[in-house]
A and B are shown apart, each in its own frame.
Chain A
Amino acid sequence: MSDLLEVRNLKKYFPIKGGFFRHTVGHLKAVDDVSFSIPKGHTFGLVGESGCGKSTLGRAILRLHEPTGGEIHLDGTDISRLNSRELVAHRREMQIIFQDPYASLSPRRTVMQTLLEPMEIHGIGNPASRKEKVLELLDIVGMRPNVLHRYPHEFSGGQRQRIGIARALTLDPKFIVADEAVSALDVSVQSQVLNLIARLQRELGISFLFISHDLAVVQHISHEIGVMYLGKLVEVASSTDLYRKPLHPYTKALLSAIPVPDPDSKTRRTILQGDVPSPLNPPSGCPFRTRCPEAMDICARSMPALKTVGEGNNGLPHQVACHLY
């Protein structure tokens, strides 16, 4: 199975301004040396706490943020080296679905305008064929054609999210970043949208980077899952492995913290102490050591590298960055 997307040592640092002349006095390492790959037709789930750099990673891959360093290979092309004109051409191949169903659609544009725009920009087809494509997309996301001339505010959150998905599909991308695409939805609608995404992926063979803070959601939809903590990937494994045999103490804590909708569930909960450290001055060594129940001396001194510790049931390697292993 070939990898559609390969991310190598991706970094995204935001400059911190300060001092008398408001020059850059330091960097906020939102994404720090992250590598992973996604095979064609696979979904890679990304979980982690708020502010750990998930969105930044997703956006850096699409070059909506300019990466500070690293390589991004999409279907053989190094996205990170394209100039702006080439980039526009490659935007067809990668798209994004956003979290906020209210903020992600242009409020003063009709569904029709929103869906036609990407094709117009890229000069795909003629007006008639574009229209046809729009209708086809609406059908795929399960909406009737009579919505075409309505404005976003006339739809419910779930419906908007579908329009957002349809927009991402207009250019027939190979790769889509879904950044918390279902987090803002009510549970009953959330599952509808999750089903839709899963179906699209199966039918169209698109690769997804599925970002969420909800492990349960990610586990359901992903083939492989990466756990992020303070800008770094701390564990990568196939979704079944990660749930069955979490290795990193953070992953364990994360899993046990998920409230299970079953009053009889008897899982032992690991309650983490303390708060997420500020990414502005991360702790030395392993970033998790300040909250880690199993921290050792070495953790303060060196940052453990992400290393493969075994192979899961479906041939995917299980990687973890922890001194315990």
Chain B
Amino acid sequence: MNTLTDDIPGKKESESLWGKAWYKFRRDRIGMVSLGVVIFFMIIALGVWAGLWGQNWSGIEGPMWAPPSAEHWAGTNIIGQDIFERAIYSTKTAFEVGMVVAILSTILGGLLGALAGYFTNTWVDELILWLMGVLDSIPFYLFVAAIAYSLQGYAYSMHVAMIATFWTTTARLVRGEVIKLKNFEFVEAARAIGLPQRLIIFRHITPNTFHILLVQATIVFVGAIKSEVILSFLGLGVVDGVSWGLMIAESTQEVQAGHYSNFITASVFLFILVMAFNMFSDSLQDALDPKKVSA
């Protein structure tokens, strides 16, 4: 009497949504190339971190403003430091800033966004919305400056400030998505079996916002790197070490005097990474778009 079948159509490719997304992503040529570039930069950063290269960014090696040569690929800066070496080391700084800010602000945004979305119309939501509104309306520079002062000399003050301001966008997106999701029947089903709210939120709802978080993290990553450039220019940025922002800040006076090396090297590094990351982020978004995944 049981005439039911369970032929699953089209199950060849992969089992999970992530698998599908990866499958889709792999076919996106621009996405793959940009991912390649990002990975290349990441390897550079890891190498610096592991001490393989880019170590001699602070030593005074050459003369002032030496032109590019076999010894100094991108020449030297005013105090005789090797520009290429500094640009390489800055890759690490950029990833450090980007990673720390992206990961932490995504976690914070995801968490608070989920709570706000799940508890809409309660004080929890009101409170979180209030906090977001407040943080969004404080001028960014005041915030960064204040935190930079409050954590004087602490190497991560810039990071803290960026996290504190960047998480709100993520949280708003996640909140919207969670509001949508919590009206789905599977949430009600979870309640019907007596699942505690904590598990409903974190086991059933938040996993469905991971695609947003992932894409948002890449966007924040780029935002962090770009903000670092401006903050460093204003003297609120990286405390120790060197970054592209600092290099550009150093070079702003030199450019019109015809010393382009510092400016170009840092700008090109920055531009390529940011561009690759933007394109990667776009492709990732396409690949993870649930509308498109289920097609």
Contacts and interface: CB of A to CB of B under 8 A. Distances in A.
- Per the CB under 8 Å rule, do A and B touch in the complex? yes
Interface of A: 59, 62, 64, 87-89, 91-92, 94-96, 98-100, 103-109, 117-118, 121-122, 141-144, 146-147, 149-151, 153-156, 159, 162, 164, 167, 170-171, 192, 196
Contacts of A88: 194
Contact of A109 (B11, B191, B192, B204): B204
Interface of B: 2-4, 6, 8-9, 11, 15-17, 184-186, 188-195, 199, 203-204, 207-208, 210, 293-294
7 contacts: A62-B192, A91-B192, A91-B193, A95-B193, A147-B8, A149-B15, A162-B4
> Max chain A CB contacts within 10 Å: which of B6, B11, B184?
B6
A108 B20 CA distance: 13
A150 B192 contact: no
Nearest to A88: B194
8 closest cross-chain pairs (CB), A and B = A142-B4, A104-B185, A91-B194, A98-B185, A118-B193, A88-B194, A108-B207, A103-B184
Given A98-B185, A142-B4, A150 B11 contact: yes
Contacts of A121: 193-195, 199
Contact of A153 (B3, B4, B190, B294): B294
Given A59-B188, A100-B185, A167-B193, 9 more contacts: A96-B188, A103-B186, A108-B208, A143-B6, A150-B11, A154-B8, A167-B189, A171-B193, A192-B3
Given A107-B208, A156-B9, A96 B16 contact: no
A87 B204 CA distance: 21
A144 B11 CA distance: 15
A294 B2 CA distance: 48
A161 to B, nearest CB: 11
Given A108-B17, A156-B9, A64 B188 contact: yes
Contacts of A59: 188
A296 B186 CA distance: 45
Contacts of B199: 121
A47 to B, nearest CB: 20
B16 A151 contact: yes
A173 to B, nearest CB: 10
B6 A144 contact: yes
B194 to A, nearest CB: 4
Nearest to B187: A106
A95 B185 contact: no
Nearest to A65: B188
A96 B192 contact: yes
Contacts of A62: 192
Nearest to A141: B4
A59 B188 CA distance: 9
> Max chain A CB contacts within 10 Å: which of B4, B184, B204?
B4
Contacts of B3: 192
Given A96-B192, A103-B185, A142 B17 contact: no
A147 B6 contact: yes
B189 A107 contact: no
Contact of A155 (B4, B8, B194): B8
A210 B204 CA distance: 27
Contacts of B204: 106, 109
A142 B2 contact: yes
Contacts of A95: 192-193
B13 to A, nearest CB: 10
A239 B204 CA distance: 39
Contacts of B210: 108
A103 B208 CA distance: 12
A60 to B, nearest CB: 13
A98 B183 CA distance: 12
Contact of B186 (A105, A144, A162): A105
A51 B37 CA distance: 54
A170 B193 CA distance: 10
A64 B192 contact: yes
> Max chain A CB contacts within 10 Å: which of B11, B186, B210, B294?
B186
B4 A143 contact: yes
B17 A153 contact: yes
Contacts of A96: 188-189, 192
Contacts of B293: 153
A150 B194 contact: no
Given A91-B192, A95-B192, A150 B8 contact: yes
Contacts of B208: 106-108
A98 B188 contact: yes
Contact of B4 (A89, A104, A151, A192): A192
A98 B189 contact: yes
A2 to B, nearest CB: 25
Contacts of A171: 193
A96 B193 CA distance: 9
A118 B11 CA distance: 27
A142 B6 CA distance: 8
A171 B208 CA distance: 26
Contacts of B188: 59, 64, 96, 98
Contacts of B8: 147, 150, 154-155
Given A143-B6, A149-B15, A104 B189 contact: yes
Contact of A117 (B9, B191, B193): B193
